Structure 1
């Protein structure tokens, strides 16, 4: 019966240290950490590794629920997998342990609120973007390719897939740049 910790942050500028220290203080023998979005289990190899490794009697510990899952579907799938393996989940900031019926019920409620919070945050973000677009402030992300360079290479007879390889961009970016150039008459 081992206790494993899982820490996650979403972006490069966020720090994992506070989570990893809290998990070690909570008795985790092994702590796995990664930088990845929490909106899905995909692209989170450290979490998948832990979930594969957990056995009966083991405990997975996270500092906060949103470090593990941001949707009720993902949370339910993780909890079902833990139950199937005979392992349990502990969430430090909520003093929650799925080893008890009360803990399991409370976890489901927290999952619903977490998903709701994510949806509200996304809605506010989209409202902010729409407002910035209306004021001509929103520019979107920087272009990954220079349109003039794409047009020049294409006019020299280079195929879009070869242009994409040469410029190290997606082929779709090349096609988009060519379409914009045609639209603008360049």
Structure 2
């Protein structure tokens, strides 16, 4: 069966032009989405078309933008059609999988490439998040406590770094989250400072 699909957005006042093109392409049935943007994921008519389609059917569209806006979404639609065993004809772009089944292979390759990029971006994001959490501190808890106390008492970053033989960056990474609280850290017992920083008190 040859099935046609029509979609109009809010700026289009009629579906007749598309209907005429599809009838000329010998479409036997039609599914219609009116007043729906190509960006919308909710296309009841297109969903109904895919549910009705069976192997051997031909789905006809006036143009690719009737299906979706983005290239990847269009490519994934073609992959779904191939899985269902239905062919696709797009009139204005001249795509016809009946005459050129290689279109399916091109679309599948594009989808595979896009998914590979997604995996790569996901892996990079995870790696970046792990780096953002920071490496384990080069200072022991006692040294971290002392460093905070030194800064609260007026010592410079360079002086603190020299005291513990670490880089200024290490001291900055320790103190930066606590910069707004340093005044409050001055002159408080070490045990209370430990609880504030690490959520625990020194065991007796």
TM-score (norm 1): 0.52
For 2:74, the equivalent position in structure 1 comes to 75
User: For the structure 1 residues 77 and 107, does the alpha-carbon distance in structure 2 shift closer, same or farther, using more than 3 Å as the test?
Assistant: closer
CA positional deviation for 1:75: 1.0
Q: After the TM superposition, which residues 15-164 of structure 1 pair with which residues of structure 2 at under 5 Å, given as runs? A: 15-35=14-34, 36-40=36-40, 42-99=41-98, 100-104=100-104
CA positional deviation for 1:94: 2.0
CA positional deviation for 1:34: 1.4
User: For the structure 1 residues 73 and 107, does the alpha-carbon distance in structure 2 shift closer, same or farther, using more than 3 Å as the test?
Assistant: closer
User: For the structure 1 residues 107 and 15, does the alpha-carbon distance in structure 2 shift closer, same or farther, using more than 3 Å as the test?
Assistant: farther
User: For the structure 1 residues 83 and 104, does the alpha-carbon distance in structure 2 shift closer, same or farther, using more than 3 Å as the test?
Assistant: closer
**Which structure has more RCO (C-alpha within 8 Å, separation ≥ 6)?**
1
For 1:8, the equivalent position in structure 2 comes to 7
User: For the structure 1 residues 39 and 90, does the alpha-carbon distance in structure 2 shift closer, same or farther, using more than 3 Å as the test?
Assistant: same
Cα distance in structure 2, aligned partners of 1:84 and 1:102: 14
TM-score (norm 2): 0.48
Cα distance in structure 1, aligned partners of 2:93 and 2:103: 10
Could you report, residue by residue, the CA deviation over 1:43-90 in whole angstroms, capped at 9, with x for unpaired residues? 210000001111111010001111112112221221111111100110
| Secondary structure at 2:38 match in 1 | coil
Q: CA RMSD in A?
A: 2.6
| Secondary structure at 2:93 match in 1 | coil
Cα distance in structure 1, aligned partners of 2:54 and 2:7: 22
Could you report, residue by residue, the CA deviation over 1:79-121 in whole angstroms, capped at 9, with x for unpaired residues? 111111100110011221123244446778xxxxxxxxxxxxx
The structure whose Rg is larger is: 2
Ranges in structure 2 where 5+ consecutive residues have no aligned partner:
109-204
